[in-house]
Amino acid sequence: MRWRRCFELRRFRQASWDEPLIKELSRPGRVGNLIPTDSKIRSKYKDPAALIPASVRRDSVNLPELSELQVLRHYNRLSQMNFSVELGMYPLGSCTMKYNPKVSETIAGSDGMKYAHPLQPPETVQGLLSIFYELERALSEVTGMSRFSLSTSAGAQGELAGVLMIRKYLRDHGESGRDEILVPDSAHGTNPASAAMAGFRVVKVPSDENGQVRAKVVEALCTDKTAGMMFTVPNTLGLFESEVAEVSAAVHSAGGLMYYDGANMNALLGRARPGDMGFDVVHLNLHKTFATPHGGGGPGAGPVGVSRKLADYLPVPVVTKGKKGFALDYDLKHSIGPLKGFVGNSAILLRAYVYIRLLGATGLADVSSLAVLAANYLWKSLDPEAFVASHGNELLRKHEAVVSVKSELPGAALSVAKAVLDYGMHAPTVYFPLIVHEALMLEPTESEPVEVLDEYAAALNEIYRKMKGGALGDVPRNTSVGRVDEVKASHPMTLRVHW
């Protein structure tokens, strides 16, 4: 198979932790640059350091001294120790690791973008501001919201902005006694964390045996203390919530507001809108659904959108269009204030804009169809004896599939996840959602051709057979780092510091 060949090639010179550190390669006086040999220049710049005023000059910056080729090899080797969607399938559920088109990278790297400064007068960055304005309109259209603020730079920060807006709105309307937020037990961990950070008490909503939140259950949990509910649709089991409209109605009639966790909009894009399901606040993860790079800690963008009645509560700045053109408005009447400098991670916003404009409305709808098809195809290709659907109704399964590994072995899901790395593919998300035993969460996204989905399913099925026969061994073997000690990896932290 293709991946076998690819991995044999990689093993030929596999980067590993045994490589010397760049610091260890250093030799005093070795340089990676040349001062021109022309005699006139030479005599003028005999001591280039002398050109820097003595008061700001450092005697030693203690940087490694290497040749240009050594530096090149060092960084290329580091890049080989990584995995990325550009090397293989990356079905890390809930993370939507889709392909990031290269054209967006080119545009984000253009001079106009690279050299723009956040403190530039607005009249000199009208082009960029107009793009942010149009992006804001597009996101409002996609979600059925009235207005967006783009600045929040992650899903979690968008959530915090959202619940802070709910809190301020309720206080302004004489409802400051409402201090509880409902959060389903299938929710992403950031939901209860954001609610708690905003000063709310978190009330857990149990899902039923089909992985669904029932309106009756929500209704029974609503009281005059209910500030709102954070809801993820489709939920983290990859299932559409069939009673979402009834749940919204129940929370609204109890006086609360509805928050939509739209980190994973891939299933609804161009097909259905949270605004039409009764949500008042949403956040989107541009670094997931809208094809901007993520992994390794950012940068991201988690814009937050609201219905009309909350429009003045958005974090500032928001982009406005007036007689004098486009501008950043810091004077929203009830704003919760700024959460991030300027307009946020502008290059990420630009990439999302390019993605939306490339695809258009019908293209976005095709994305969601393909993402849902790929997840369902992958799930159907798995051995049903080995990987059991965690919950529910097939018709509700959307952009990702959560399965439970059928095994008595402790840590079976972890073993499968480690073994798949040897096939040159990324592991699924494991042990999430928490309500699923030995969970694997697979999200292939719309990017993968069917042959790759077939290879992935074949790999998982083969791994399961090996595991059952006791022949899995100590996996992974082909990666730069083998099986790590999960406990030791986080505690105690022992850093290999060499200077």
Ligand X SMILES: *Cc1c(COP(=O)(O)O)cnc(C)c1O
Binding site for ligand X (CB under 6 A): 94, 154-156, 188, 190, 232, 236, 261, 263-264, 285, 300, 302
- H helix runs in 85-179, sequence order: 102-108, 111-114, 126-143, 155-172
DSSP type of residue 392: S
Q: How far is the CB of 309 from ligand X (least distance, A)?
A: 24
Q: How far is the CB of 95 from ligand X (least distance, A)?
A: 6
Of 178 and 273, nearer to ligand X (C-beta) is 273
Of 156 and 213, nearer to ligand X (C-beta) is 156
Q: How far is the CB of 60 from ligand X (least distance, A)?
A: 40
Of 155 and 444, nearer to ligand X (C-beta) is 155
Q: What are phi and psi of 297, to 5 degrees?
A: 95, 15
Q: What are phi and psi of 102, to 5 degrees?
A: -70, -25
Of 140 and 236, nearer to ligand X (C-beta) is 236
Of 160 and 419, nearer to ligand X (C-beta) is 160
Cis peptide before 476 (omega within 30 of 0): yes
Q: Taking a C-beta distance cutoff of 8 angstroms, is the pair 183, 205 a contact? A: yes
Q: Strand, coil or helix: what is 418? A: helix
Of 302 and 303, nearer to ligand X (C-beta) is 302
Count of CB atoms within 10 A of residue 53's CB? Answer: 7
Of 74 and 351, nearer to ligand X (C-beta) is 351
Q: How far is the CB of 235 from ligand X (least distance, A)?
A: 8
Q: How far is the CB of 416 from ligand X (least distance, A)?
A: 21
Q: How far is the CB of 261 from ligand X (least distance, A)?
A: 5
Strands 429-430 and 439-442: antiparallel
Of 53 and 297, nearer to ligand X (C-beta) is 297
Q: How far is the CB of 264 from ligand X (least distance, A)?
A: 5
Q: What are the angstrom distances between the C-alpha of 79 and each of 68, 275, 424, 493?
A: 17, 42, 15, 24
Angle among Cα 8, 12, 18 to the nearest 5 degrees reads: 120
SS3 content of the chain, % helix, strand, coil (to 5): 40, 10, 50
Q: How far is the CB of 490 from ligand X (least distance, A)?
A: 18
Sequential DSSP letters for 455-486: HHHHHHHHHHHHHHTT---S---SSSS-S--H
Residue number of the CB closest to ligand X reads 155
Q: State how far the Cα of 444 lies from the Cα of 95, in Å rounded to an integer.
A: 10
Sequential DSSP letters for 44-58: HTSSGGGGS-GGG--
